[in-house]
């Protein structure tokens, strides 16, 4: 289960490396952030603000949803 607080802290301290994206299981975006220094810092700032303003219910629905089994 992913923690919103952990995601915010990772974004703040290691956002330029995309660590918060890897934590949230968004590997492709994590690699992009890693190669572009958080898309020149602008992407990291946007992610940080978005995570701060996101409600706990929205965060859980988006990142802690149980994937459907085929």
Could you read off the pLDDT of 18-56 as tens digits, one per residue? 999 999 999 999 999 999 999 999 999 999 999 999 999
Q: What is the pTM of this model?
A: 0.89
Please provide residue 3's backbone torsions phi and psi, each rounded to the nearest 5 degrees: -105, 130
Residue 27: CA atoms inside 13 Å, Cβ hemisphere, count? 0
Query: Is residue 68's pLDDT more than 70?
Result: no
pLDDT band at 70 (very low <50, low <70, confident <90, very high): low
Query: Is residue 66's pLDDT more than 90?
Result: no
- The Cα-based distances of 36 to 3, 17, 44, 49 in angstroms read 25, 8, 11, 19
């Amino acid at each position: 289960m992913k923690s919103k607080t952990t995601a915010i802290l990772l974004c703040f301290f290691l956002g330029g490396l995309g660590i918060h994206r890897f934590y949230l299981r968004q590997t492709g975006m994590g690699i992009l952030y890693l190669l572009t220094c958080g898309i020149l810092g602008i992407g990291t700032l946007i992610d940080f603000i978005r995570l701060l303003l996101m409600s706990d219910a929205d965060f859980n629905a988006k990142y802690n949803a149980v994937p459907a089994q085929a």
